[in-house]
A and B are shown apart, each in its own frame.
Chain A
Amino acid sequence: MSGNGTGHDLSKVDYGMVDHPGPVAWSEAALREIEQIFSRYPDKRSATLPVLWVAVREFGWISYQVELIVGEVLQRPLNEIHNVVSFYTMYPKRPMGKHHIQICRNISCWLAGSEKLTDHVKQVLGIGVGETTPDGRFTLSEVECLAYCECAPAMRFDDRYVGNLTKESLSGIIGENP
């Protein structure tokens, strides 16, 4: 029975998210960081997005199990946590590959040929957009404008921006990252 106050066993509901194998718990370091975060806002609710970023770092992705402990530490009901997680694209809802290829599909990058680059990556890795390679190395996403238009076509590779992409430079980055 989850401590969500509804009387229903919400672990049986399909949120369309991928579970962690069992319950998850914050590390001591994470809890200290969360206390630090709380001190920067007038209320705990404002700390929701920063706390979710801590959770992504700690647990890899946001699952129902993660939402439960985020709700507990923020003292917010589960549905409000899920509202936030489901709204923002950058919180992963499933395990990601070791590397995340995020190719911009918006107007300036499209003018510079981004579609062909995405097709190239799909071919090289053998996956579609939104998928992860079977060996877990790469996840491929299409994203909206990254604000790197002056170096179109551009992508975000993990947490860094890479611009002026070509098929060759993309293949090179894939090859460099086992």
Chain B
Amino acid sequence: MLKLVTKLVGVENSHTLSVARTHGAYSRIEKAFAMTPEALIQEVINSNLRGLGGAGFPAGRKWSFIPKDSPKPRYLVVNADEGEPGTCKDKYVMIHDPHLMLEGIIIACRAINAHRCYIYVRGEYDLPIARVENAIAEAKAAGILGERVMGHDFALEVVVHRGAGAYICGEETALLESLEGKRGWPRLKPPFPAVEGYMRCPTVVNNVETLAYVPHVLEMGAPAFAGLGSERNGGLRMYSISGHVNKPGVYELPMGTPLREIIYEHAGGIPGGRALKAVVPGGSSSPILRADEIDVKMDFDSLAKIGSMLGSAGIIVFDETVSIPEAMLVIIRFYAHESCGQCTPCREGTAWIEEMVARLLSGRGRAGDVDNMLRVSKNILGNTICPLGDAAALPVMSYVTKFRSEFEAWLEKSRPVSSFPLPATHIGEPAVA
């Protein structure tokens, strides 16, 4: 089974320069400098490499948005915040193959003419931070980073910036605010980071895994890389899988591998032979799939077509014992906690949905609660500065819609608080008729 970014997992001292070099580390740099930046960007576009942090935006296209004629310095920022629940994959690159990530960084910086790269790593990641900082020191000592990258007339400094516990800082504009030393409050887009990013300079923000594939795009060529995956979703990717499976873990597989295959073949199926109830396919921000919806290819376009998303490919498997309303409480509690608070629909909406689910599960549900959860979710959608609001609302809508009977059953168990349902205008309805 072909492995590209997880090839060195299990190889002793793979994080050191000497071992990494025997496995091809930095062997693609010469080719990158032999190509023009424009040709490099086009090659990555042709490879169909998508952003693997969650948004799935074509990586090469993002690079192409850097203005050619801006006098401001350009920056590459690596998003190593890895906070999406169910996602545990970027750390494998940082721990086991940091030099591959650095090589991807060098190539990306060559393409966008950036001479400074910040790697924003979540604060809890002590081991990945140590490994990456060690790799940077080795690379500097070997002349791979510094004033002349591998002898070329190109300077590059890479700095690790440690986060301090905020899921929202995985959102690219919040990350930039945090990198600038402020609260992680997302910015409105446009302007996009490629035009006004770090310090209002042109900036590309890329996920760790995305950059780790870049050297392999150069090595095998764009058509071969594209061909490894599915239509418009090139290459391989790491799928995290957890929950009720026999072999939870991270599996590097072709883009577009069927979800059923990942669950039952690679992850060994469900413990105790129990039945599948539901699957979250792409981290907790993705709409849930019922057991009869798992015959889907795990790529960005196929999941979008059925109303869900690939996101960070954090697969979470629920067996028949899971109470969907209880699972949803755990999930909405996370978004209410992590909401940065900047905009009202998300700050208030996530808190109110959590309140309603908690009331429901403690026997104090009221008639109209289930519809209210849907209504509050709909009022969040599209009305926020950043996608965290949507990341809460869309899953809630999918849980409540697809498993409504479970929510109604909890409602049945509730003692009536009042003998008539609360008027619909009680919460959030516009005052103007």
Contact = CB atoms under 8 A, between A and B. Distances in A.
A41 B120 CA distance: 13
B242 interface: yes
Contacts of B338: 144
B60 interface: no
B376 to A, nearest CB: 21
Contact of B85 (A46, A74, A106): A106
Interface residues of B, number: 53
A88 B240 CA distance: 26
Interface string B110-131: 0000000000001111110000
A144 B83 contact: yes
Contact of B316 (A47, A89, A107, A148): A107
A46 B175 CA distance: 12
B166 A89 contact: yes
Contacts of B184: 87-88
B162 A53 contact: yes
A102 B264 CA distance: 32
B167 interface: yes
Nearest to A80: B182
Contacts of B85: 106-108, 144-145, 149
Given A46-B179, A147-B87, A149-B242, A40 B159 contact: yes
A37 to B, nearest CB: 9
Contacts of A107: 85-86, 243, 280, 284, 316, 327, 330-331, 334
B316 A108 contact: yes
Contact of B126 (A110, A145, A159): A159
Nearest to B84: A145
Interface of B: 82-88, 90-91, 122-127, 157, 159, 161-167, 178-184, 199, 240-244, 248-250, 280, 284, 314, 316, 318, 322, 327, 330-331, 334, 337-338, 340
Interface of A: 40-43, 45-50, 52-53, 74, 76, 80, 83-84, 87-91, 105-108, 110-112, 143-152, 156, 159-161
Given A42-B199, A107-B85, 4 more contacts: A49-B162, A105-B330, A145-B284, A152-B242
11 contacts: A45-B181, A46-B181, A50-B161, A53-B164, A83-B183, A87-B340, A88-B123, A90-B165, A107-B280, A145-B334, A149-B248
